[in-house]
Amino acid sequence: MKITIAQLDYHIGNFEGNLSKMLKAVEEATAAGSDLICFSELATTGYPPRDFLEFNDFIRLSNECIDTLCSVSDNIGIIVGAPSINPDLKGKNLFNSAYLIYKGKVQHVQHKTLLPTYDIFDEYRYFEPAKSWAVADFKGKKIALTVCEDIWDVGVDDPLYTIIPLDEMMGQKPDFIVNVSASPFNYRQAETRIHIVRANVERYGIPMFYINHVGAQTELIFDGGSLVVSPDGNVYDELPYFEECIRHFQLEDVMKGGRHQVMSKSKIQLIHDALITGLKDYFRKLGFSRAILGLSGGIDSAVTAVLAARALGPENVRVLLMPSQFSSSHSVDDAVTLAEKLGIRYDIIPIREVYDVFMDKLSPFFEGKPMDVTEENIQARIRGILNMAISNKFGHILLNTTNKSEMAVGYGTLYGDLCGGLSVLGDVYKTEVYELAHYINKDAEVIPMNSITKPPSAELRPDQKDSDSLPEYDVLDPILYQYVELRKGPQEIIDMGNDPALVRRILRLVNINEFKRYQTAPVLRVSPKAFGMGRRMPIVGKYLN
């Protein structure tokens, strides 16, 4: 039996586009002599469709995609993920299902059993879990159809569920497993995914074909990395990361095993490629092409500019250099050097005169008050207005350049440097931004070394440095990681050898600045716990405040 895996980039609600991709893949697989082609979870709708699933018309359009796939299935079997209607009056109205289509009709449907409701997932909001499990008969073979999470309670130390769907199917003696998946990227996910798939194969002794999404849906990025694992537990093949791919496999060869095809990528390379994918798809799927950002000469805006140029093309990236009386001359020079190296348009708009107008109007009210964060925020908001003015006038999307460390402790100005349609580095700690900069410069100097080596500063007052207000980032970031990613409490972090007063100060800053994160742009998710949809915290709360 010849089996094709189609790892594709879907677009939520773009039924015509999603179906067109699948039809082309079916045509290619048929021409290659495949018996079966496998698409991923909710391929008809794109993932995650969220409350679109509550629209009857949305489900109707998905069902029409299934009907069209039936019409091209005379000579090839098709496995595809799509919602299906629950005929029972009790429970949720929909299932998250895997369809087997062949000879012009749906031959088998298996519903998803394990519905994740953690981190970025909220599937029990929409779907009813499966209550029965049956293998699918196809050309003399028995297929155990599973949907994403259905395999993720095997090989873990702390199982979330009380049932394992594949355990229920094994008495029917399936020949192989197909898992249709929509598993979002984080920099640990590829390693975890391989572990989970291999754990299932070792448990059941039959091969698995695992098909994942690729591409991005707003903040969620999918890396692909679809897998074929042989009964001996070896990875027979791993599809590319961050690109569409259609690949064919002979089941008989997979059964023999013996191969070990796993790509090795560093954490920073994965983050780099994921951010480019996220940028590219955010613009393409929204119908935009051009970006703008403020380029300060610092490392965050420099890395963002490089990623944008690589994702969108330098001709589609524009930057504003907006020096104030507090900006150093080398910051402007570094920004100009980078813009010229990248071949992106830059414009210099000094903001001192605008700032002076604000201060003149406010001086009667500020009389007798010393300069403080108010004047700093005015500068940041002037820059935000200028960026948004160009954005509105010329149809550019403003990119936010705030990193995760700054976002965590509120080191940013609402309606100023926190403006933007997309947060590029909001899930990348400052220490990781430095690693990204070195990765970008690995073959040649793209980002000026001065942007990397100089002490980080917002340059909003004379001789300002980030360390005036914050701990050094190599101290700050590990504490943030323990609190945000690992959900460690203050005493646990203190017991690791950290200064108690410092820990409590940092954690308090994280909590009291939740209101800012509620008002900022969607954050491209690259870590196991990103700000945004995967971290739900109250704004008004007393914990550590």
- List of the chain residues with pLDDT < 70: 261, 458, 460-461, 545
Q: Which CA distances in Å does 313 have to 326, 343, 523? A: 32, 9, 21
The pLDDT value recorded for residue 325 is 87
Cis peptide before 49 (omega within 30 of 0): no
Is residue 238 within a helix (H) or strand (E), and if so which, with residue range? strand 235-238
Strand 136-138 and strand 220-223: the pairing is: unpaired
* Residue 189 φ/ψ, nearest 5 degrees: -65, -35
245 is catalytic: no
Per-residue pLDDT tens over the stretch 339-354: 999 999 999 999 999 9
Q: Is 65 a catalytic residue?
A: no
pLDDT on residue 261: 66
DSSP 104: T
Half-sphere exposure of 54 (CA within 13 A, CB side): 6
Nearest to 66 by CA among 49, 84, 52: 84
148 given a catalytic annotation: yes
Identified catalytic residue from 21, 38, 70, 112 = 112
User: Do 507 and 484 touch, CB atoms closer than 8 A?
Assistant: no
**Tokens 């196991």 belong to residue:** 528
Question: Pairing mode, if any, of strands 141-147 and 136-138?
Answer: antiparallel
Q: Return d(Cα 124, Cα 127) in angstroms, integer.
A: 5
- The b/e string for 31-60 (b: 16+ C-beta within 10 A; e otherwise) is eeebbbbbbbbbbbbbbbbeebbeeeebbe
By three-state DSSP, how is residue 46 classified? coil
Q: What is the dihedral of CA 339, 341, 345, 351, to 10 degrees?
A: 20
Q: How is 184-235 classified by DSSP, letter by letter?
A: ---TTHHHHHHHHHHHHHHHH-S-EEEE--EEEETTEEEEB--EEE-TTS-E
Domain ranges of the chain: 2-264, 270-470
Q: What is the Cα–Cα distance from 526 to 184, expressed in whole angstroms?
A: 9
The answer to whether the CB of 224 falls within 8 A of the CB of 214 is yes
- Distances, alpha carbon 357 to alpha carbons 347, 360, 376, 382, in Å: 22, 5, 15, 11
Superfamily of domain 2-264: Carbon-nitrogen hydrolase (3.60.110.10)
Of 38, 65, 148, 419, catalytic: 148
Pairing of strands 2-7, 422-423: unpaired
The β-bridge relationship of strands 36-38 and 2-7 is: parallel
Torsion over CA: 368, 374, 379, 383 (sign): negative
Which one of the listed residues 21, 38, 41, 149 is annotated catalytic?
A: 41
Which amino acid, 261? Q
**Class in CATH terms, 270-470:** alpha beta
Q: Is the dihedral of CA 260, 263, 267, 273 positive or negative?
A: negative
* CA atoms 234, 213, 527, 162: torsion sign: negative
Name the burial class of residue 139, with classes exposed (0-12), middle (13-18) and buried (19+) by CB atoms within 10 angstroms of its CB. exposed
Instruction: Look up residue 281 and give its amino acid.
Output: D
